[in-house]
Amino acid sequence: MVSKRTRNFRRLLQSAILKLRWLLPGIGVKRWVLVILIGTTILGLGLTVFLLDVYHTVPEGWWIPFIKVVALQFVTNRVLRALIFGLIGIALIIVGIIGLNRALLRPFLRPGKDVIDTVAEYRRKDKGPRIVVIGGGTGLTSILRGLKAYSRNITAVVTVADDGGSSGEIRKTVGILPPGDLRNCLAALSDDEEMITQIFQYRFAESAGLGGHSLGNLLITALTEITGSFESAIAESARVLSVQGNVFPSTLKNINLVAEVELPERKVTINVKGESEISKMGGKVHRVWLDPANPAAFPPTIQAILNADLILVGPGSLYTSLIANLLVPDLVDAIRASRAYKFYICNIATQRGETDGYNCEDHIRTIERHAGSRLFDMVVANNRYDGNMPNGVDWVKVEEVDKHYQVYAADLIDKENPWRHNSAKVAKTIIDLYMERTGPLNTRDIGSTI
């Protein structure tokens, strides 16, 4: 049976070990502890000179024995005496720093989160790679959700060609760019994603007189009118939501997506205007373009791409999300000019009315037909085909791919929704592939290379 004294000693030892965690590399605390120690040492030297002067000049009195006890004169070994003073001083400084940090950081800590863990995690993510993700829809938000566990330096780039649902209605009635995809990305990159998503995605009923709009769309619309610009509204929303990274539109121009669609049953080819209308047609999409053509890219988006360490295109709707972004000429030029590693993340499943019957090679060729060849360094694709798919949806299989591309295939599916990516799997795969090219891997055997 463990005695009470032993339990107390263990508890004291555990507490001491936890305090020493402040000295772990990467937290950024040691340098300031050193500054405090130097300052305290200088202050101690000054106090010592004063006490020695008092000890030698002041007449004998009751305070002299007290000073001798405080100065540990009963310890004859001066080195040991100095060591005792040093250890006591360092312990008090560490306890004081921890207490001060707890008091200052308490309002910002999540329940159950330790201060040291919070600081260490923040510092680790702050040093993470600069990642730009270009896409849209649930595919983009899924990958952002996984990547924010590795880096705070994330920029999501989304199209502003959306003209359906709440975003389309706001675009028509208020005259601002559609906020829907940007709203979803802000929620995905938020520190408290679960609560923010519920609030931002809350959709009012038609009977409420708000036309079925989501609260996030209304908030961004209100901030646009308050701040005077759409980009300022997005920036303010990111600040309010404590977003880890940035969310940028590909362009600030009021653009529409137009597609040339072949209708097999009518044996005609028609032009369809509007992102929301393209997939509804149920035909074969031959090509898409923007109206007006060649819009100028949003300058911060270009800057983020040029400064990136890693650029990811996808996942997302091939024509209405990915290519809609890549049709902005300056954006594609910036991708080509960037020295970042460039990965294309292929969709797991086909999309009805847009990519019926497509495999991985078809996706790549379609992107090349619109944005030019050899845009990527690597293609990341799923090679697990287990699970039931919705009617009319098939697996996007990895078959023969252009020899200029290196293809990395792994299990990327979400078991509950196998037609979608698992955010943690995709993020881990991407970061491991990136680290394999820039530094040592933390984990091996994460998939198979074709």
The three state secondary structure string of the chain is CCCHHHHHHHHHHHHHHHHHHHHCCCCCCHHHHHHHHHHHHHHHHHHHHHHHHHHHHCCCCCHHHHHHHHCCCCCCCHHHHHHHHHHHHHHHHHHHHHHHHHHHHHHHCCCCCCHHHHHHHHHHHHCCCCEEEEECHHHHHHHHHHHCCCCCCEEEEECCCCCCHHHHHHHHHCCCCCCHHHHHHHHHCECCHHHHHHHHCCECCHHHCCCCCEHHHHHHHHHHHHHCCHHHHHHHHHHHCCECCEEEECECCCCEEEEEEEECCCCEEEEEECHHHHHHHCCEEEEEEEECCCCCECHHHHHHHHCCCEEEECCCCHHHHHHHHHCCHHHHHHHHHCCCEEEEECCCECCCCCCCCCCHHHHHHHHHHHHCCCCCCEEEEECCCCCCCCCCCCECCCCCCCCCCEEEEECCECCCCCCCECHHHHHHHHHHHHHHHHCCCCCCCCCEEC
pLDDT digits (tens, 9 = 90+) for 236-294: 888 877 788 899 999 999 999 999 998 877 778 899 998 888 878 878 899 999 999 99
Give me the pLDDT at residue 1, please: 53
pTM over 0.85: no
Given the structure tokens 């979803």, which residue do they identify?
184
For the ranges 196-200, 243-247, 275-279, 336-340, the maximum mean pLDDT occurs at: 336-340
Report percent pLDDT > 70 for the chain: 79
**Mean per-residue pLDDT for 172-176?**
82
pLDDT digits (tens, 9 = 90+) for 153-169: 999 999 998 887 777 77
**Mean per-residue pLDDT for 321-344?**
95
Give me the pLDDT at residue 447, please: 42
Give me the pLDDT at residue 432, please: 94
pLDDT digits (tens, 9 = 90+) for 27-53: 566 677 778 778 888 887 887 777 777
CA distances from 319 to 88, 155, 208, 314 (A): 67, 21, 35, 11
- Would you kindly state where each structural domain of the chain is located, as residue ranges? 4-119, 128-159+293-449, 181-246
Give me the pLDDT at residue 173, please: 79
Alpha-carbon distance 403 to 408, whole Å? Answer: 13
Q: Which of 14-23, 106-115, 402-411, 429-438 has the lowest mean pLDDT?
A: 14-23
Give me the pLDDT at residue 337, please: 96
Alpha-carbon distance 150 to 127, whole Å? Answer: 9
pLDDT digits (tens, 9 = 90+) for 419-430: 999 999 999 999
Alpha-carbon distance 84 to 441, whole Å? Answer: 44
Asked if pLDDT for residue 107 goes beyond 70, the answer is no
**Mean per-residue pLDDT for 80-109?**
75
**124: which 2 tokens?**
């680790």
Give me the pLDDT at residue 376, please: 93
**Mean per-residue pLDDT for 439-446?**
44
Give me the pLDDT at residue 443, please: 38
The answer for residues whose C-beta is within 8 angstroms of residue 54's C-beta and 6 or more apart is 67
Asked if pLDDT for residue 441 goes beyond 60, the answer is no
321 or 167, higher pLDDT:
321
Going by their DSSP bridges, the two strands 154-158 and 131-135 should be labelled as parallel
202 or 437, higher pLDDT:
437
For the packed helices 193-200 and 180-188, what is the interaxial angle rounded to 10 degrees? 160
CATH code linked to domain 128-159+293-449 = 3.40.50.10680
